[in-house]
Amino acid sequence: MNKELWNQMSFSQKIVWFVQYYGLTIVVVVVTIAVVLSLIKSFMNASDKGDMRIIILDGGASTELSFEYQEDISKLIDGEAEVAAYIKNDMDHMQAFSVRLHADDLDIVIAPEEEIREMAEVGYLLPYDPNGITSFYGMFPEELLLTMDNTDASKEQVFAVGFDENSRYMANCREAGAQEDNMYIGVTIKRINDANIEKTALYFLEQ
């Protein structure tokens, strides 16, 4: 539109023309902003609530116990816990576990030694840090710690903690009729809630 014709239009005519010409663009921009704000709000609310996401791969015991774990941990952290459990000898469960592991933001993973080592090798698990959120690893004896060579090959680092026979997790497995061996718990690099990592991990590790 040329400037002369624009100047001859009334205010209402200008509004109508503007909406007709830019209407779709305005709608797209408004919807995009609304979606972004909604995502930010959801993320902030989740952080404030203290949500905790845990994924478990074992012989099947935890599939029966996952709801109980969710209730207990939700009360423990005064937030909302999500516990997803998969059976390690079931192909469909293994595929679902792998997809969930790589697609979602997770705080804690419980799995057999082989899978835990693979996660540590690809950098998915946080190493022990005496001043960080994995400082609780230092509470457990050396024989329960899973260690691997550091990337600089100068020393070993701890990436997970094994379960004592008297731990809550192992006791629950026995009660569910599944004897799990060489199971470990680790903290992921994709964690969303640092504040409740330790108390949640200790829930599984302690008697």
Strand partners, 57: 86
Please give the chain's pLDDT, 207 residues, in tens.
556 665 666 656 656 666 666 666 666 666 677 666 655 544 444 444 458 899 998 887 888 789 999 999 999 998 899 999 898 888 888 888 888 887 777 899 999 999 999 999 888 999 999 999 999 999 999 999 998 875 554 578 999 999 998 999 999 888 888 777 889 999 998 887 788 999 999 999 987
**Global pTM value:** 0.73
- The amino acid sitting at 90 is D
Query: What per-residue string of b and e applies to 161-184 under the rule 16 or more CB within 10 Å gives b?
Result: bbbbeebbbbebbeebebebeebb
Task: In whole angstroms, give the CA distance from residue 188 to residue 108.
Answer: 6
